[in-house]
Amino acid sequence: MAAVIPDLKTRWLKDGFAVEILDLDLPTASEEELLAFDDLCRRYAVVVVRDQKLSPKQVMDVSSRLGRVSPQNYTGPHPDFPGISILSNKMVDGKLIGVRDAGRNWHTDGTTYQKLGLRTMLYGVECPPEGSDTLVADAAAAFDALPEKRQAELEKLSIVHNRAHLIQKYSRSVLSPEEMARMQDVIHPIVVKSDVDGRKSLFITNGSTKRIEGMEEEESWALVNELVEHCTQPQFVYAHKWRAGDCLIWNDVGTLHRATPYDEEKYIRLVYRTWMRPFAAAAMTSDVEAALQHH
């Protein structure tokens, strides 16, 4: 007999885009409540659950409910849980325990996978009282706001992405020639359909982009920057003000995101990040399996 999924209490944080689930404690939730949580995370672009107390294992447990978790090979993997990336300025024994300045530019995760459909989850362990917000932009609403002629023009274009290009641009990691060779170009259309609601959305990033097909580099970047600026206008952006215990989840198709700066000399930030591919979209080819090992 199929489980009955209860209605969890929610409230809009940004109408039609970001929703908060109220009165849910993930570690002690019933299976029925967890099924409802799963369902909400699949139906809404951005989901927030506050006041959680999650161990790294519980972060993995929650993430694993939502999809197949991708290993964090190049972005501060947790020593005991390689599916968790540590984002932090915290020092232990004179060494950073994670990545200090990840995600300061507008970008989208998962652009270098052959198959789209990733979700990102952040869990706040230590959060500065000011700064360090996470901004998430509604790229579907941004596409809807464009004139029909402009929409039609953009639907004809595709972007060339490359993981090695991204790592060399933003990471301190050094890639071997073998790793460079494995990270082949991946091409995605600029306009895609969201797997949340089927709406058309811009799919762009300032990170992994090499060029737009058929354009020179300078022309490509001018268009990418124009579209990022359009998507990230205030009317399209949800700004998450962090508190310790917050769990923030978003769909990477249909959104861009970035972290805002904070006083790193005054405050400690410690956030766990996971990437997962929802099970409904988990039919992966061997090429994608290989790509997951190098994301």
pLDDT higher than threshold 70 for residue 73: no
pLDDT of residue 8: 93
| Confidence grade of residue 292 (pLDDT, cut at 50, 70, 90) | very low
Alpha helices in 126-266 (DSSP H): 139-144, 148-154, 163-170, 177-182, 217-231
Q: Which residue has the higher pLDDT, 166 or 64?
A: 64
> Residue 172's pLDDT is what?
55
- 3 state SS of 104: coil
Q: Evaluate if residue 52 carries a pLDDT over 80.
A: yes
Using DSSP's 3-state secondary structure scheme, residue 230 falls into helix
Residue 130: CB atoms within 10 A of its CB come to 11
Instruction: Classify 75 as helix, strand or coil.
Output: coil
Residue with tokens 């805002």: 260
CA distance 199 to 160: 22
The per-residue pLDDT for 15 is 94
Least confident of 102-106, 168-172, 184-188, 260-264: 168-172
Residue 264 has a pLDDT of 94
Question: Is the per-residue pLDDT at 127 higher than 70?
Answer: yes
Mean pLDDT of 205-218: 83
End-to-end CA distance of the chain: 39
pLDDT at 185 over 90: no
- Cross-strand partners of 255: 138
For 82-101, write each residue's pLDDT tens digit: 899 999 999 998 888 988 87
